[in-house]
Amino acid sequence: MRNVEKIAIKNTIWHYLGLILWIVPLLFLNNGHNSLMPHDEAMYAVRSRWLLESGDWITPQSWGELVYEKTPGPYWWLASVYTIFGISEATSRLPAQIACIFSLLLTYEIGTILLNKRIAYLASAILGVSLLWLQGSRLATANIVTNCVILLTLWCLLKAELHPKYKYYWGFATGLSFGVSFLFRGQLIFVPAIALLPYLILEHRRHRHLTNPMLYLGLLVGFVPTIAWFWFSWQRYGDIVFEQFFSLAIRIAKEQRNGNSPLFYLWNTPIKAFPWPFFSVLGLLILRHQTGRYNWILVGCPLIMLIQISLVSTRLPHYALMLYPFIAILAAVALDWLCQIYEDKTSTQKWLPRNLSYAFGGFGGLVFVTSILIYTDILSITSDEIDIKKAAVVGLVLGLGWLMLPLVWILRHRGFLFFTAKYWLANLIIPVWLALAAAGFVGLLGNYSPDVKIFLQQSAIAEVLPNNSINFVVQKTQALSTGGDKALLLLTFYTPHWGQRYRQLSEVANGNYAWVSPETNVLLSSNYRDLGTFRGWKLIYKSGNG
């Protein structure tokens, strides 16, 4: 028995190392050019820097304006990273990158409990090459960190059921991690909590989670930092703290963004995580015909979460990130099943992997040819959001890789039996990995505001910013409505030394520099020297001469 346990532990360690080696290049590969995404990345970075610069870790603010719409967990974590490693794009993104690695390992552990190690390993690999998940893992936002804590909560919950002898310890850990997740994401964490209710209630006779007193004790302890933060903030600022916090939840429930309908996630998620959601539907059908003790988690939980986020009026792509680990597990179930059919010479369902091979090969060929036409300017396409030429490079890599998939199938059935299901599976997944690695290398997954870097490198700007305190002349920061003016967020983050905020240019003292908002009427004279303009914001020097 001990030998079996040693082998299992050894396999787990090797799987851990494999997953780390799989995801780390995708998280850190870049072309040396990075810039923050204004919303929400720069918002989190700026607010975290405010905590550090002011020394006030209780008050989230934006140029003196209170912003109590979110719980402070992400700001505290990011400010702590800044304290240790300094302030930069790389350090801003480090928490999400670390959380992504742990999320893959937690998905592996959860998949092992729910199914088996083989499917769990495949599911974690798939999660790492899901486009929106990887993009979120390279952003200075709270999304991946929150999902990591939610996965930790689910893992602890399953461990409490798996090891009744230690259910009090795991129950406490479950409650603690859920309470901490509220510190990172506020009301949104109740979405997965509600999705788990059928498992908690209908399967209560088996696991007895709801009668575990340590679960509630852990929950109480986990909520202590958030409760303390609310208390100290209310003592200082009064009811506005709760007004701002709950107004965000009301706004999310009522405000519709970009006209997204309740069907938004049914088409957006398959695009943002292509091709894994399509396989997850097949995995869902496979599990539906199997009786499993964890079907309320594997099948019910993601479906209930999907319904919840679809009913809320504010429908944004990153809200679906909590579905991605489940999508990956279900896709792994389907791919594992397809690999068994691939290997079975007598199977009557061989048409399924065969047709999938030709379908992906045809799609890969189309992507490959289109990418060549775009890259050579034969086909002219423009976009304000991404560099089309760089996207074409990614398409070339992905298309060429998937073109090989039908070749593997053909060779296998022409007598080259060493082209096993592992080769077929690798030819499906590795091209996605290579394409995402290419996207990181060319800067599509890291350089979101290249114009700010180009502007800051101008000699007149580069000589002033590092050596001087820069004031800001701004009437409204829009911090509560959209997270802040995009240009203001970028300039605030990339200005090394902050001065004061003024509402009128006349308030700026002589001999000082200032960023001046587009709304401010600047009558250029000998009193003001215009050093440059970024998205309507002017950097001026007030000499007082003239």
| Residues 427 and 491 both lie in one domain | no
| Residues 523 and 478 both lie in one domain | yes
Does the residue 385 lie in any domain? yes
d(CA 538, CA 525): 14
CB 317 within 8 Å of CB 99 = no
d(CA 221, CA 434): 44
| Residues 237 and 379 both lie in one domain | no
Q: What integer pLDDT is reported at residue 150 of this predicted model?
A: 94
Does the residue 121 lie in any domain? yes
| Residues 501 and 359 both lie in one domain | no
In the listed set 265, 283, 298, which residue is the last one of a domain according to the structure? 298
Does the residue 337 lie in any domain? no
| Maximal CA-CA distance, the chain | 93
Helix (H) or strand (E) holding 529: strand 528-534
**What pLDDT, in 10s, does the model give residues 222-281?**
999 999 999 999 999 999 999 888 887 777 766 666 778 889 999 999 999 999 999 999
Q: In what order do the strands lie in the sheet with 537-542?
A: 498-502, 470-473, 512-516, 537-542, 528-534
Q: What integer pLDDT is reported at residue 269 of this predicted model?
A: 94
Does the residue 269 lie in any domain? no
| Residues 463 and 361 both lie in one domain | no
447 burial type by CB count under 10 A (0-12 exposed, 13-18 middle, 19+ buried) = buried
Does the residue 342 lie in any domain? no
Q: Which domain holds residue 366?
A: 351-448
Does the residue 24 lie in any domain? yes
3-state SS record for 430-460: HHHHHHHHHHHHHCCCCECCHHHHHHHCCHH
CB atoms within 10 A of CB 19: 20
Distance of CA 443 to the CA centre of its chain: 17
Does the residue 304 lie in any domain? no
In the listed set 448, 472, 487, which residue is the last one of a domain according to the structure? 448
d(CA 288, CA 479): 46
For 500, list phi and psi in degrees, rounded to 5.
Answer: -105, 160
Does the residue 73 lie in any domain? no
End-to-end, the C-alpha distance of the chain in Å comes to 90
DSSP classification of residue 352: H
> Residue 451, preceding bond cis, omega within 30 degrees?
no
Q: What integer pLDDT is reported at residue 112 of this predicted model?
A: 94
| Residues 217 and 365 both lie in one domain | no
**What pLDDT, in 10s, does the model give residues 97-152?**
999 999 999 999 999 999 999 999 999 999 999 999 999 999 999 999 999 999 99
CB 496 within 8 Å of CB 465 = yes
Distance of CA 267 to the CA centre of its chain: 19
| Residues 172 and 237 both lie in one domain | yes
In the listed set 448, 463, 486, which residue is the last one of a domain according to the structure? 448
Q: What integer pLDDT is reported at residue 546 of this predicted model?
A: 47
How many structural domains comprise the chain? 3
**What pLDDT, in 10s, does the model give residues 75-93?**
999 999 999 999 999 999 9
CB 514 within 8 Å of CB 543 = no
pTM: 0.93
| Residues 118 and 205 both lie in one domain | yes
Distance of CA 398 to the CA centre of its chain: 22
d(CA 534, CA 512): 19
| Residues 493 and 361 both lie in one domain | no
| Residues 194 and 220 both lie in one domain | yes
CB atoms within 10 A of CB 323: 25
List of the chain residues with pLDDT < 70: 1-6, 253-257, 290-292, 384-385, 479-484, 521-526, 544-546
Contacts of 359 (CB under 8 A, 6+ apart): none
| Residues 189 and 219 both lie in one domain | yes
Q: What integer pLDDT is reported at residue 482 of this predicted model?
A: 61
Query: Residues for the chain: how many in total?
Result: 546
| Residues 227 and 362 both lie in one domain | no
